Amino acid sequence: MTNPILVEVLRSTLVESRHRGAVAVADADGGAVLAIGDVTTPIFPRSAVKALQALPLVETGAAAAFGFGDEELALACASHSGEPGHVAGVTGMLAKAGLDAAALRCGAHWPIAQPALVELARTGQPSALHNNCSGKHAGFLCVACAKGIDHADYWRPQHPVQREVRAVLENLTGAALSDDRCAIDGCSVPTWAIPLQNLAYGFAKFATGRGLAPERARAAARLRAACTQRPWHVAGTGRFCTEIMQLFGARVFVKTGAEGVYCGALPEQGFGIAVKCDDGAGRAAQAIMAALIARFLPLGDAERVALAHFMHPTLRNWKGFEVGSLRVVDGNLQPPV
């Protein structure tokens, strides 16, 4: 099936580019609240499921054993910008487990946010700590250390930590994860393809704890609280995930993934959300997620204005002139009148 156009990019008044995609919103019983486009073909959720991948860190007692607070748990769920506070936080997580950056197997890259890149370039070089996934990797390492398992190969699909992550993803999403739909993520851990409708179902359970064993439900609530109370640690200065969770607090959890993926949880509504843009465009996935929040949450005036800014951002050029805009175009993504 051909997914519909969900976002248009305008230059002046003409459509310059367009983004197709699919959206699933589900409740914790697996009921479909909204389905746009193909929600049954497995897609790679990439970093959008980091909060689910972090459940073993809490459930196993590793986070408690190392005395992790909200900031450290938020970093375990993060695609962070590599700002100094993120790097210090991940360094601290590793130190509590008796480790340092040498244990990380995520690879090094320059910070994903340009201001952080410029700041680092002035004083140094990126290390694995600056990798946007370093908090997630620190979390995996801490699980291995707390269990007394050799941590050297913590990133490989057959390592006990990744096998546990796989079992958690299957339990949450209800999807059978298949070796022939497993690929390697940017940070080298496995990423399993999962249908959007199952991802939405998994995030509805993450949002509510419904259908989860008591310990898992508590771990989900703990991670949601950490991320929504420390949203800067989940992304970084000026980033969508951070700004949305700063705005809505515990009412909204959102997490971006590479190649145009977004997942989210609306605890008050009991809904989970999963978005994938066909072409991998993050700018479109973000606008769609803003539109979904506007559609499903009762909003105050300030919240409505802030969301409109993300749904229909003005595009400016290098001189600051207004040159165009983005707009969400699918009728199913419009807020109630």
Residues near a second copy (CB under 8 A) are 2, 9, 11-14, 16-20, 42-44, 105-110, 114, 117-118, 121-122, 131, 180-188, 191, 193, 259-260, 277-281, 284, 317-321, 323-324
- In the complex, what is the shortest distance from the CB of residue 250 to a second copy, in angstroms, rounded to a whole number? 32
- In the complex, what is the shortest distance from the CB of residue 289 to a second copy, in angstroms, rounded to a whole number? 17
Q: Which structure tokens are listed for 329? A: 């175009």
Which CB sits closer to a second copy, 102 or 302? 102
Which CB sits closer to a second copy, 300 or 320? 320
Which CB sits closer to a second copy, 190 or 270? 190
Residue 28 CA, chain-centre distance (Å), reads 19
Asked if 91 contacts 129 with a C-beta cutoff of 8 angstroms, the reply is: yes
Number of Cα atoms under 13 Å in the Cβ half of residue 131: 21
- In the complex, what is the shortest distance from the CB of residue 121 to a second copy, in angstroms, rounded to a whole number? 4
Asked if 44 contacts 217 with a C-beta cutoff of 8 angstroms, the reply is: no
Question: Measured between alpha carbons, how far is 281 from 107 in angstroms, rounded to an integer?
Answer: 24
Q: Indicate the burial class of 56 (C-beta count within 10 angstroms; 0-12, 13-18, 19 or more).
A: buried
Query: CB neighbours of 180 closer than 8 A, spacing ≥ 6?
Result: none
- In the complex, what is the shortest distance from the CB of residue 295 to a second copy, in angstroms, rounded to a whole number? 23
Q: Indicate the burial class of 320 (C-beta count within 10 angstroms; 0-12, 13-18, 19 or more).
A: exposed
- In the complex, what is the shortest distance from the CB of residue 285 to a second copy, in angstroms, rounded to a whole number? 11
- In the complex, what is the shortest distance from the CB of residue 224 to a second copy, in angstroms, rounded to a whole number? 28
In sequence order, which ranges of the chain are alpha helices (DSSP H)?
50-53, 55-59, 62-65, 70-76, 84-96, 114-123, 134-147, 160-173, 196-208, 214-229, 231-234, 240-248, 282-296, 301-311
Which CB sits closer to a second copy, 243 or 278? 278
- In the complex, what is the shortest distance from the CB of residue 261 to a second copy, in angstroms, rounded to a whole number? 10
Which CB sits closer to a second copy, 27 or 259? 259
Which CB sits closer to a second copy, 309 or 316? 316
Which CB sits closer to a second copy, 62 or 187? 187
> Residue 207 carries which side chain, given as an amino acid letter?
A
